[in-house]
Structure 1
Amino acid sequence: MQSVGTQFVIVCTFQHIEKIHVHCERKMDSVSSISSSSAPVSVCSARCPAGHRTAALKGHPICCFDCIPCSEGEIINSSESNQCIKCPDDQWPNSMRDQCIPKVIQYLSYDEFLGGCLAAISIVCSILTACIFGLFLKNRNTPIVKANNRELSYLLLIFLMLCFLCSLIFIGRPLKVTCMLRQVVFGIIFSICLSSILAKTITVVMAFNATKPNNKMKMLVDFKLPVYIVPACSLVQIILCISWIANYSPFPEFNMAAETGKIVIECNEGSTVFFSCVLGYMGFLACVSLLVAFLARNLPDSFNEAKFITFSMLVFASVWVTFIPAYLSTKGRYMVAVEVFAILSSSSGLLVCIFFPKCYIILMKPELNTRTYIIGKNKKMLN
């Protein structure tokens, strides 16, 4: 009986082992079928989404982790990796943050809305200035054009037209030539404009004082001193600009940090000291012109331009005073747009304040632009 019982136990044990073996084979088959179709999912944590790295959780099994997004400018090749890779300076992660792609190159272009608008305003204003110049040439023998030295008026109109056109150099892809010409052309042209305005203001003062008896100012009028003011004042700016180009020439550079995910091509000024000196000298000329015009604003002279010059210098000064903080607070291509806007605004202020009143009299009030009216007006002043 004992042997029969032992045999029965052995048979049952073998049957049980065989069932377990069959069950394990079935489990292995199911697991292999799952692994062939998709990767197994952890019971504790799901697979991290794209652009996220794994971070182990303290006190939990290794299969338990947290998903942390990669920092800006980094990618991750695998969702199961625990370390992100930083892209090169000239590249940026794609939307999935699994591959580095080249950054978009940007600059103030004619094709974009901002650059196109500034270019269109520049061209329209230069055409308007040319029209005013033509109007002055047509009426060159009238009293209002002759007043306050018409040659200086011609010179100022020509260089105001160049002021509007020089803003076009700032638009477009920066090159070595354009970077060198930008600030130099702008500085010299504006200095000639301001020197012309200063000369016109001094002409008003000298013309009034020369009418007084035994006044030495008449000799300066005969010597035509205002004509020499323009080249003398402009020469200082020309020397500054030549020294700037010779020692610290501006050049184009790639700014990787100006805008996120973009490379901004901009002009490096080379020397902020020379750039500040160029702007500072223009500010000095504007202040001197404003002071002289303000002192001469009430002089009893026919078609006295001093009041209009005072307004124009106030507009010019306010534009460039607000330009400095705006320029320093912007980055990339918007710095160029701010400077172009300042050039167009200040040039427009000079054109409107100085020449629009004369154009109004020439076109709308021709009866005031006569010798008879000026003689009658002067008699009233004397009485």
Structure 2
Amino acid sequence: MTLAGRGPGRTERLVLPGVLTAEQAAVTVAGILAVQRADGAIPWFRGHHLDPWDHVETAMALDAAGEHERAGAAYDWLARHQNADGSWYAAYPDTPDGVAADRATDRGKESNFCAYVAVGAWHHHLATGDDAFLDRMWPTVYAAIEFVLALQAPGGQIGWKREAPEKGGVVRPAALLTGCSSIYQALRCALAIAERREDPQPDWELALGWLGHAIRQHPERFLDKSRYSMDWYYPVRGGALTGTAAAERIAAGWDRFVVPDLGVRCVSPNPWVTGGESCELALALWAMGDVERAVQVLRAIGHLRAADGLYWTGYVFDDDTIWPRELTTWTAGSLLLAVAALGGDPATTAVFGGTELPTGLAPDCC
């Protein structure tokens, strides 16, 4: 399947009444491009760090906006800076002369950070129809997925991270539901890439089946992070929960996490709504077919938009205070992706809708 984009400036799928006009979308895209380094790296904001997951999320937003060359540069940056074991470090500093990949500020290797390259690579291919890009990125994606699956436990869940080399490089086997739900989506995209290249990966199919089973049936295999809204919606956002199970999960946490007309709490019961969580919930709602509430959530965070088109990370509503005072590329990127999905952008709907992604093999026991 190839869903080729129609070139730069493709903003017609980034318009949503009450959320974004074409002019606003263009300003937001320009704001992201102003932060992206010439080498392709996309830090949170100038002078802050880059992490691999948010770097990919923002690159995907650039593809949704038709900025395929700049998105491709972001993936090239990842390919150039991948560690020999298939991983990336958790954080790289943005220095005056670029992102200093050789001076990582957090040398831990987080599993979901490393897996997400597969989502971005498949999205870029669907947006551009560029088979050469997919062939070029395949060794990077393959090595990343192999690194991640080396952290999978017999129960299907995947360990959070491998510690920094100076800390012995030991594996932290505790699993995070949010991270594993993101890895679930990444494995499906990695398998789609493998299918496209006619390079089957049966071990990945088994791993995906076990991971999905753990997410759906064994909450006890994950650390209790139920205070965080991500743990609430991410099994839906990542595609592990669908249909009635997804609807029931979202209904169960709605009043706890959603603040009408303001957005989604990051942590319950803290009076702090965040743009990234709100946009990701909107994606989960869209995937469920709940378009009306997805749009409502996106409209609610209009108060986080700044004059330069970027979005503040969060807002403390008890104090009427923007906090932290950060305009993050990944918050803007998540907003653009949610709008692109709601607008029917083919590449974005394919990656986040998941109906055409591989489903893996069901485990043969409980």
TM-score (normalised: structure 1): 0.27
Rg (Cα) greater in structure: 1
Would you tell me which structure has more helix in proportion to its own residues?
Answer: 1
Bigger RCO of structures 1 and 2 (CA < 8 A, at least 6 apart) = 2
TM-score (normalised: structure 2): 0.27
